[in-house]
Amino acid sequence: MREIKQLLIIGIAILTLSCSSDDNDDADVTLEGTWKLTTFTTSDAIDYNQDGNATTDFMAETNNCYADNTLVFKAANTVDASGSFLDVEVQTQTGTTNLIIETNCTNDNQVDTYSWSQSGNNITVANVGTGILSSNTLAFTTPQGTLLTTIENNTEVFTLTDIVQVYTKQ
């Protein structure tokens, strides 16, 4: 009887040591709260700011225009989205027929409210998409998103590229 008891104690000890409380860090993260956009990348390098250096860091290419974008998740399954956006206008250069791109980082101080739902690590925001929750980050991927990137031969050139926006819990 004593041997069975010792085996049971050893078995419980082995099970306790082999199970880690760190197996699912996502379980400790509550979605409710403020999430700030910390990374905005594209799968293809783009020289959006026309400085001669094409990168996949769209945040840098737009002079951190999107750096103040936030999502505020609320317990009532609503999320408030706010921040800046890049206002892009294609205009004709004065005195010519050449097209030029003018950009302006705009913060309209508007808060848009959407509904959200969660299924495991998948977070779906209505009219936005589904993001993947991993630890303290939430990543939304737009496959083959469209970006106006340049003007060539007086024609607007759009790039289809995967767009990834990563928000970090504040």
Rounded CA-CA distance 161/145 in Å is: 5
What's the angle, vertex CA 121, arms to CA 118 and CA 124, rounded to 5?
40
The model carries a pTM of: 0.75
Q: Which domains does the chain have, with CATH numbers?
A: 28-169 (2.40.128)
Closest C-alpha among 159, 151, 145, 163 to residue 46: 159
pLDDT, tens only, 98-131 = 777 788 899 878 999 999 999 999 999 998 899 9
Residue 119 neighbours by CB under 8 Å, 6+ apart:
none
pLDDT, tens only, 48-73 = 887 889 899 999 999 999 999 999 99
Cβ(138)–Cβ(132) below 8 Å: yes
